[in-house]
A and B are shown apart, each in its own frame.
Chain A
Amino acid sequence: MRNVAPTIRVDTPATLRTERRGNAVRIVAAGDWLTSEAGRLDKETRNIPTTGAGEAEIDGSGITNLDSAGMWLLLRMKYALEAKRVPVKSFVIPEHFTSLLSAVERDGPVEPVVITPPPHGLTHFLERTGRGAFGALHQGYAMVGFLGRVTVETLEALLEPGKELPLPGLVHQIEETGLTALPIVGLLAFLIGVVITYQGADQLGKIAAGAEIYTIDLLGVSILRELGVLITAIIVAGRSGSAFTAQIGTMRVNEEIDAMQTLGLNTTELLVVTRVLGLVIALPFLVLFADVVGIIGGMMMCYLDLHITIPVFIREFRHSVSLNTFLVGMIKAPVFAFIIGLVGCFEGLRVERNAASVGLLTTRSVVESIFLVIVFDAGFSILFSKLGI
């Protein structure tokens, strides 16, 4: 094994020498027995030759400097010899290191700390899978309970808005989750509109010449029904869902939430309902904005790529979509907002008091909310197709 050159220089390199004097093994240690020398000394201090020896001496009188690592190595030699039934007759170190000796020697040889690696193998894999499944079920159960509580508190807040639901707090949330998200949502929706149009026109052109005009139908229906809402919800989940988890999680770490409870404040109302309600109000507006901007993006692409003028675009657009198309997308917005807010706050309240926990649960909340949004989106699709909407 290649030895890395030590960066710490010692004045007198440590030395170890063994001699035989008749029946006795004499181990002479000298120099600076320090941590930086310990790596090298490790090998040297193992396997002291003891064949035919009846006793041993450890002579450290020549040691110029000694720390706990060096002391440990000396003691380890002593313990090893005693284990081999070779009594250590004398153990000499310079006097000013005696207190170090008693500190390291304590009650005897210490067991090295061995961290057993986690077991692997088929049974353990199955066990972990089982645990994971139960954990997920448990989490789902807890979340349903939380859902119930938040729903009740939200309805209470709406029906009798009193001192409990702080209006400034709610407005602040609407600003944070909605207003400040407009630029990013606008930009991404615009680009999605551009991409859909470009790809759509490409494929439609292969069907028949002139079929490109139907790109407008494609754009209108997909943005209004599906993509406008979905893309916005995903952006908001990443942006606001994670913010909720991190904010509430950090408050948990600081015991701020405990403090709120002991002051008689309703933490669910103040922390959760304001966020969830703020998002439920803000998201539909964001979706509306995304729909408009997405279609504008598509319209621009139609003009640049397909040379479809704006009046032609608008005429075809009005043929292909109806108010229904728009509403089908919009109805999903408050539902998605509720999901994202709920999951974000739920995971925030489950944060434990360490740094890793905040990061872990923030990640989890984003992934979970996006997952649930897409699942519910699929559910809506099925529902609407059954209803013939």
Chain B
Amino acid sequence: MSAPQKPNTKDDVVIRIRGLVNAFGDRIIHDHIDLDVMRGEVLGVVGGSGAGKSVLLRSIVGLNHPRSGSIKVFGQETAGIDAEDMRGLQLRWGVLFQDGALFSSQTVAENIQVPLRRWTDMSQGLMDEIAAVKLALVGLPKEAGTLLPSELSGGMRKRAGLARALALDPELLFLDEPTSGLDPIAAAMFDQLVNDLKASLGLTVFMVTHDLDSLRDAADRVAVLVNRKIKTGTIAELVHDPDPWIQEYFSGVRGRAALSSA
């Protein structure tokens, strides 16, 4: 089966969501939400535990099937999409799962090479070189390539997962709570990494996070999932939103400390 062709659309809106409804049984998670993610921006997605941040991410990448609504990525509707077209989309995005989701029986380098092996016709030698490039890109030492995921620290696992997500040089990057479990220094370094990569690779980033510091340091805009709805804007705009959860989030003790050092 030949590699699906990447359609050539240079839309300003990379992800367009309209009227999305997600529910599990009787429990409604998302009640007709709309969202636009613009090319080249880092969108931070926040919300209380259980507000559906990860569900939203998984709906966009096709791991969840929403009740109703439209999700268009790169101008292409993902609901009812056929497998071939989905592959085309998957080549253009990369996903970093919480804790990396690395294939536990393979080394870091082999993990990075999995999409390369499947979707390109690179020789083994070239794949080894590209893997080294990706490791350097995410700030991992070359020796990390020969380690198994179980031999890595949490921070290294996330970077390794990021390296794999970037293996095919995607245009769109999904991050699921990238700084959770990292010490403050590692978390700050990761935010810096996201910024650097956004600038150097021209990435659009959809970042689900709890971390106010990440929002301040890395996010251009923020989308807040609250009461099964979504509110989007810059931090400066959202700080004035009267919703009690949003107020608490941005104006509580941690919020003010994080934002005031901006």
Contact = CB atoms under 8 A, between A and B. Distances in A.
Interface in A254-299: 254-256, 258-265
B215 to A, nearest CB: 24
Contacts of A44: none
A255 B101 contact: yes
Shortest Cβ-Cβ A-B pairs, 4 listed: A264-B90, A255-B101, A259-B101, A262-B95
Interface stretch (B114-122, B125-133, B200-208, B241-249): B114-122
Interface size for chain B: under 10, 10 to 19, 20 to 34, or 35 or more residues? Answer: 20 to 34
Given A258-B58, A259-B161, A264-B90, 5 more contacts: A164-B1, A250-B104, A258-B101, A262-B61, A264-B86
A328 B102 CA distance: 46
A264 B62 contact: no
B101 A264 contact: no
A119 interface: no
Contacts of A263: 90, 114-115, 118, 164
A251 B61 CA distance: 19
Contacts of A264: 86-87, 90-91, 115, 118-119
A162 interface: yes
Contacts of B101: 254-256, 258-259
Contact of A261 (B62, B104, B119, B164): B62
B95 A259 contact: yes
Contact of A256 (B62, B91, B104): B104
Contacts of A260: 103
A262 B62 CA distance: 8
A256 B100 CA distance: 9
B118 A255 contact: no
Given A163-B1, A254-B104, A255-B97, A262 B87 contact: no
Contacts of B119: 264
B262 interface: no
Contacts of A162: 1
Interface string B1-37: 1000000000000000000000000000000000000
22 contacts: A163-B118, A250-B104, A254-B104, A256-B102, A256-B104, A258-B101, A259-B102, A259-B103, A260-B103, A261-B63, A262-B62, A262-B93, A262-B95, A263-B115, A263-B118, A263-B164, A264-B87, A264-B90, A264-B115, A264-B118, A265-B115, A265-B118
B98 to A, nearest CB: 8
A258 B63 contact: yes
Interface in A43-84: none
Interface string A127-150: 000000000000000000000000
Contacts of B62: 261-262
Interface of A: 160, 162-164, 250-251, 254-256, 258-265
Nearest to A258: B63
A169 to B, nearest CB: 12
A119 B123 CA distance: 64
Contacts of A164: 1
A154 to B, nearest CB: 16
B74 to A, nearest CB: 15
B90 A256 contact: no
A261 B95 CA distance: 10
Residue in B90, B101, B115, B161 with the greatest tally of chain A CB atoms within 10 Å: B101
Contact of B97 (A163, A250, A258): A258
B64 to A, nearest CB: 10
Contacts of B99: 255
Contacts of B104: 250-251, 254, 256
Nearest to B4: A264
Nearest to B61: A262
Contacts of B164: 259, 263
Contacts of A256: 101-104
Nearest to A160: B1
Nearest to B106: A256
Nearest to A264: B90
Contacts of B114: 263, 265
B69 to A, nearest CB: 20
Contacts of A255: 97-99, 101
A260 B118 CA distance: 11
Interface string B134-152: 0000000000000000000
A161 to B, nearest CB: 11
B221 to A, nearest CB: 24
Interface string B206-234: 00000000000000000000000000000
Most chain A Cβ neighbours within 10 Å, of B61, B63, B93, B118: B118
Contacts of A250: 104
A317 to B, nearest CB: 46
B233 to A, nearest CB: 28
A170 to B, nearest CB: 16
Q: Which of A162, A163, A259 has the most CB of B within 10 A?
A: A259
Interface in B53-105: 58, 61-63, 86-87, 90-91, 93-95, 97-99, 101-104
A258 B165 CA distance: 13
Contacts of A160: 1
A131 to B, nearest CB: 15
B90 A259 contact: no
A262 B99 CA distance: 15
Contacts of A259: 95, 97, 101-103, 161, 164
A265 B113 CA distance: 13
